[in-house]
Amino acid sequence: MNKRPVLFVDSGFGGLPYAHFFRSRNRSEKLIYAADRANFPYGPRPKDEVRKIFLHFVKGLVERYDPKIIAVACNAASVSALPALREAYPAMPIVGTVPAVKSAVLASRKRRVGVIGTQRTIEDPYIAELAAQFGPDCVILGEAAPELVDFVERRWYKADKEERFLAVKPWIDKFRENGADAIVLACTHFLLVADEFRSAAGNDIAIFDSVEGVCRRVESILDSEGLRSDLQSEADESLFVVSGVRPLEERWEQLSSYYGFTLETRY
């Protein structure tokens, strides 16, 4: 029995759906979700810079909370810093977020797949490598959408369904005009508007994300490495840790309440 926490990390609050999904299936595990508000956004930054700031952020979290496993719920951090993170913590199980390109490529009948994410993720060769591995005949239509990331981070919590839909629809329209029949949400932030993506996509475009795959991978490691906590009891409160200067903006308190986390004010 291992009562140390499971740590989910992102540049902002986009990875919350991953942590929320994991908690819904693993109530006995103590959970910490950490957002690097001080350095948001990661997407426009050079790869080396993302690697440096993310390693520094995780170092502080590991020293303070002593997690038993880390889930990097951030595509930009995963493509930029995952090897360096594993090198820094060779004894720590670490799960990255891999965009669901494989599933989308295998499902596409038109052989045209849209991928929407941050600039850092879209520009990384990893997307093209995944597509080449699982569907070399498939055309990848990559779109960096920093304004949509910013909308989710700063407006989502107070926007109504119509505003969220209107923020997403132009991207769906663009992919549809270019013949895509599958779209990969390659930024964790976009999971918060996944319903709007699916609504705008209709029946002719399938939407793919990596939430379930990432969480199942974390669960698999907990089982195989004997890291599970007491399965017969429910864990204490889940923490929402936010970096950066105080006071926090209103949205952080609202989001922690919405997802049932306790906001950690001491970090």
Active site residues: 74, 187
**Tokens 């590991």 identify what position?**
62
Please name every residue paired with 33 in a beta bridge, in sequence order, or none if there are none: 8, 240
**Residue 195, both tokens:** 């319903």
Three-state secondary-structure class, residue 101 = helix
Closest CA to 241 of 220, 266, 258: 266
> Is 240:261 a contact under the CB 8 Å cutoff?
yes
The number of beta carbons lying within 10 Å of the beta carbon of residue 89 is 16
Number of DSSP helices (H) and strands (E) in the chain, helices first: 11, 10
Closest CA to 121 of 164, 166, 72: 72
Instruction: Give the dihedral of Cα atoms 250, 253, 255, 259; nearest 10 deg.
Output: -170
The answer, yes or no, to whether the previous bond of 41 is cis (omega within 30 of 0) is yes
- Edge-to-edge strands of the sheet including 112-117? 139-144, 112-117, 182-185, 206-208
Question: Following DSSP, what letter does each residue of 156-195 receive, concatenated?
Answer: GGG--HHHHHHHHHHHHHHHHHTT-SEEEE-SGGGGGGHH
